[in-house]
């Protein structure tokens, strides 16, 4: 038989976690209340299992897994629609939350979902060029974006990401390309929102919206422009 790996992730109580994954389109296929609370959710070929521990602290959880798909855009859109229908909004900070869709320097297009138990499910699709070595780019602004994105999403450190972006935008002897500038400013607005810094968020969004882009540049920055519109809305 073909091998299959199934992550088993912690939570404090099962119901909020099950409600969250149900909103994402998963089905609860098994639930055990005693002696140990345990549950299984499935959606297509994705299976996740959960166990409840009273002492678990969601904000400090290190639970994570990676889901590979051949339709990351479709899953992202479906998850967002399900969350909006269930919660009346799309949660983008705190727990639970769903992150933006991004092309990463290491060769995948991905987004992150964090459930009420604090578990981070990374959903990704290899880019056409295939996975690449996870090494930071050499160019100044590409390198800053690489590190800031890792801090903002993978490490859940928006304050650290803000410092990286602020530092590179203060450089006087180098200037980012228009696309890089938009990406940096949208990311700065995003993390400012997570930090409750509405003034910085508004200023970064206004500055990003004012950047002039050619048609080709707009296509290249498509994900960031969509995020810009969402943050401004």
DSSP summary character for residue 231 = H
Instruction: Pick the range with the lowest mean pLDDT from 105-109, 157-161, 172-176, 178-182.
Output: 105-109
* pLDDT score of 148 more than 90: yes
Between the alpha carbon of residue 114 and those of residues 1, 54, 83, 132, the distances in Å are 32, 19, 12, 25
- Count of CB atoms within 10 A of residue 157's CB? 16
Instruction: Identify which has the larger pLDDT, 2 or 206.
Output: 206
pLDDT above 90 covers a percentage of the chain that reads: 85
pLDDT score of 104: 84
**CA–CA gap between residue 100 and residue 121 (Å, rounded):** 13
Instruction: Pick the range with the lowest mean pLDDT from 19-28, 40-49, 124-133, 223-232.
Output: 124-133
* pLDDT score of 133 more than 70: no
What residues are paired with 8 via a beta bridge? 49
State the average pLDDT over residues 144-166: 92
Query: Over the stretch 58-105, which tens digit does the pLDDT of each residue have?
Result: 999 999 999 999 999 999 999 999 999 999 999 988 899 999 999 887
Instruction: Identify which has the larger pLDDT, 18 or 155.
Output: 18
pLDDT score of 231: 92
State the average pLDDT over residues 35-58: 96
At residue 139, φ and ψ (nearest 5 deg) are -60, 140
State the average pLDDT over residues 119-131: 85
Query: Which pLDDT band, with edges at 50, 70 and 90, does 131 fall under?
Result: low
pLDDT score of 86: 96
pLDDT score of 134: 58
Please, is 223 exposed, middle or buried when counting C-beta atoms within 10 Å of its C-beta (0-12, 13-18, 19+)? middle
State the average pLDDT over residues 43-56: 96
- Count of CB atoms within 10 A of residue 85's CB? 9
């Amino acid at each position: 038989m073909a091998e299959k790996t199934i992550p088993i992730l912690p939570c404090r109580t099962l119901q909020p976690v099950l409600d969250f994954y149900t909103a994402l389109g998963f089905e609860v296929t098994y639930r055990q209340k005693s002696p140990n609370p345990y549950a299984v959710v499935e959606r297509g070929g994705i299976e996740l299992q959960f166990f409840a521990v009273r002492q678990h602290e969601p904000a400090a959880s290190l639970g994570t897994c990676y889901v590979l798909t051949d339709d990351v855009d479709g899953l992202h859109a479906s998850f967002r629609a399900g969350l909006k229908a269930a919660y009346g909004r799309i949660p983008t900070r705190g727990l639970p939350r769903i992150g933006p869709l991004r092309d990463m320097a290491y060769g995948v297009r991905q987004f992150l979902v964090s459930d009420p138990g604090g578990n981070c499910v990374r959903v990704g699709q290899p880019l056409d060029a295939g996975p690449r070595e996870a090494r930071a780019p050499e160019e100044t602004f590409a390198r800053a974006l690489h590190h800031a994105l890792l801090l903002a999403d993978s490490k859940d450190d928006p304050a650290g990401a803000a410092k990286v972006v602020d530092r590179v935008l203060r450089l006087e002897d180098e200037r980012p390309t228009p696309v890089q500038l938009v990406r940096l400013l949208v990311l700065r607005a995003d993390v400012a929102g997570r930090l409750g810094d509405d003034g910085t968020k508004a200023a970064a969004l206004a500055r990003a919206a004012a950047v002039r882009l050619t048609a080709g540049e707009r296509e290249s920055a498509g994900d960031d422009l969509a995020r810009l519109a969402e943050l401004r809305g």
